[in-house]
Copies of this chain bind each other. A is one copy, B any other.
């Protein structure tokens, strides 16, 4: 392979918006947030990335988002120039990348659906669903959802205020839909109701 295996400690920056895009990263372990910070300090998070995702979308040679490790991260760093040569030679691999991009596109669309949903409640439910799906893929315990990000990251991803995120999670927990052990993990207490809410919220996406 042309890549090198690299590690990033929790909180470190993997790549920065506006920098010359030299590599793309294929995530192996750990969760990454991707977004940007405006001049006034407001952070916008466009995506969370999980193992097997690609990180490092570029536009006209520059990274579009800043990517930060929310946990210790391992990834394959793939330099673009050799990668392009490889893709030109191996069309099966290229098709594989094409599929990955389609997947990212779908994820981004789900994010849009989340953002477009009216109530804070719905947004949080859809957000939890996102993590839920991911946790199952990664082979976690059935009903326990790990939240590797802070509340403010959830806020910036869902377009809500931090206070609203906190309040909504607490409300769901008060209604016995969820149970919150520590701040960074929730357990789904009423799976059927939860799934029903998800389906009702997402147009069935």
Residues in A lying within 8 Å of B, measured CB to CB: 36-38, 42, 44, 46, 57-59, 64, 84, 87-89, 91-92, 94-95, 97-98, 101-102, 104-106, 108-109, 111-113, 115-116, 118, 159, 203-205
Closest Cβ–Cβ distance, residue A92 to chain B (whole Å): 7
Q: How far is the CA of A64 from the CA of B202 in the complex (A)?
A: 12
Closest Cβ–Cβ distance, residue A112 to chain B (whole Å): 5
**Cβ of A94 and Cβ of B98 under 8 Å apart?**
yes
**Cβ of B88 and Cβ of A89 under 8 Å apart?**
no
The winner among A37, A89, A115 for most chain B CB atoms within 10 A is A115
**Cβ of B101 and Cβ of A102 under 8 Å apart?**
yes
Main secondary structure of the interface of A (DSSP, over half): helix
Partner of A64, one of B109, B115, B118: B109
Partner of A159, one of B42, B97, B105, B115: B115
Q: How far is the CA of A91 from the CA of B94 in the complex (A)?
A: 8
Closest Cβ–Cβ distance, residue A185 to chain B (whole Å): 25
Chain B residue nearest to A59 (CB atoms) is: B106
- 6 pairs of A and B residues whose beta carbons are closest in the complex: A115-B115, A116-B159, A108-B108, A101-B101, A38-B203, A88-B91
Closest Cβ–Cβ distance, residue A173 to chain B (whole Å): 25
